[in-house]
């Protein structure tokens, strides 16, 4: 296993994907959801379980990308989220369509409110602050428990994961909303856990290798932890994939970034963190 020796391939592949995503984001922007752009949220009691496809068909004149969630134990309440800024006249007109089709009363429009973009900016700023603060505390913790070189390599890996996820969302035009923020923080924690497992084995093995054998040390340590890493990731991905396949839209919005993030986190703990650590140690040796 020569993972460290092929680090240019891993670094190049990640860089190409991230750069492509960033270019897409610069050219077309992110596909921000209502949590970031502001818009309108409505909830209606339809008194029966209506298919998502049918509701989407009725809503396409307002917004073909409208988000639909079914609420309640019997799934008779639907929540509609659109980035369109709808005034009371438009909301009432939209509700009339449902009212006529399903024989609803005026009281069946349970909720209709507009979300301002200022709320979206607040979520965005707090999300960036949360990622920044968690990254700093992880750097301090890993540097204290291991040493600075491990902490720097782990943070580089985390930054890689966050940028990779943003690129993934930019390239595939997936709506970016508040569930993405929750998922990305979860992925950051999961990824650092995988990375620490590899680093812990490197620390255990380091006394058995010469200073000129950092690459061999890292390769052997990755090999020794590889089965554990893959088994943990696969079992987690299978579980979350089941939630994605059988869950409602709101669950899918949360599980999709988790699936992608866990795959990226597993990749980075093997192909990014350890090669960065070896590069850092080799520079220290020759400085």
50 and 107, same domain (yes or no): yes
With 60 as the cut, is the pLDDT of residue 286 above it? no
Is residue 285 pLDDT above 70, yes or no? no
State pLDDT tens for residues 18-55: 999 999 999 988 887 777 777 888 889 998 888 888 88
Same domain, 147 and 240: yes
Q: Which of 259, 261, 137, 239 is nearest to 187 (CA)?
A: 261
Question: Which residue, among 184, 178, 179, 169, has the nearest Cα to 28 in the 3D structure?
Answer: 169
Q: End of a domain among 74, 95, 115?
A: 115
Query: Residue 83's closest CA among 36, 137, 148?
Result: 36
Distance CA 170, CA 166 (A): 6
> Do 143 and 109 share a structural domain?
no
Confidence grade of residue 89 (pLDDT, cut at 50, 70, 90):
confident
Same domain membership, residue 216 and residue 85: no
Q: How many domains does the chain have?
A: 2
Regarding whether 280 and 158 lie in a shared domain, the answer is: yes
Residues 137 and 241 in one domain: yes
Q: What is the CATH number of the domain that holds 125?
A: 1.20.1640.10
Structural domain boundaries enclosing 109: 39-115
- Are residues 99 and 156 both part of a single domain? no
**Closest C-alpha among 193, 182, 172, 287 to residue 236:** 193
Q: For the chain, state the CA radius of gyration.
A: 23
Strands 77-82 and 39-45: antiparallel
Do residues 111 and 242 both lie within one domain? no
pLDDT score recorded for residue 160: 92
Please indicate, yes or no, whether residues 45 and 14 belong to a single structural domain of this protein.
no
Q: Which residue has the tokens 């040390």?
A: 217
Residue where one domain finishes, among candidates 115, 145, 172 = 115
- Shared domain check, 152 and 18: yes
- For 157-199, the pLDDT digits (tens) are 989 998 999 999 899 888 787 778 777 878 888 888 888 899 9
Which tens digit of pLDDT belongs to each residue from 229-259?
899 889 999 998 998 888 777 788 788 888 8
């Amino acid at each position: 296993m020569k993972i460290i020796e092929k680090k240019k391939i891993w670094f190049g592949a990640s860089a190409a994907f991230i750069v492509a995503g960033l270019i897409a984001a610069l050219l077309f922007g992110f596909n921000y959801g209502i949590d970031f752009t502001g818009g309108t949220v409505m909830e209606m009691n339809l008194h029966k379980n209506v298919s998502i496809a049918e509701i989407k068909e009725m809503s396409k004149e307002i917004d073909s990308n409208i988000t639909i969630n079914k609420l309640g134990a019997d799934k008779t309440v639907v929540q509609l989220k659109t980035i369109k800024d709808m005034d009371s006249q438009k909301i009432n007109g939209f509700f009339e369509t449902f009212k006529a089709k399903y024989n609803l009363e005026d009281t069946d429009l349970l909720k209709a409110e507009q979300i301002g973009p200022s709320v979206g900016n607040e979520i965005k700023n707090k999300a960036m602050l949360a990622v920044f603060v968690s990254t700093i505390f992880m750097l301090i913790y890993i540097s204290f428990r291991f040493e600075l070189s491990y902490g720097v390599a782990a943070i580089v890996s985390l930054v890689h994961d966050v940028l990779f996820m943003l690129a993934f969302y930019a390239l595939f035009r997936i709506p970016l909303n508040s569930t993405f923020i929750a998922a990305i923080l979860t992925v950051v924690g999961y990824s650092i856990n995988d990375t620490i497992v590899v680093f812990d084995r490197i620390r255990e093995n380091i006394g058995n290798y010469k200073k000129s054998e950092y690459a061999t040390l890292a390769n052997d340590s990755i090999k020794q932890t590889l089965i554990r890493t893959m088994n943990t990731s696969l079992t987690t991905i299978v579980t979350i994939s089941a939630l994605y396949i059988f869950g409602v839209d709101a669950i899918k919005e949360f599980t999709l970034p988790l699936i992608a993030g866990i795959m990226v986190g597993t990749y980075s703990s093997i192909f990014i963190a350890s090669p960065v650590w070896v590069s850092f140690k080799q520079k220290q040796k020759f400085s």
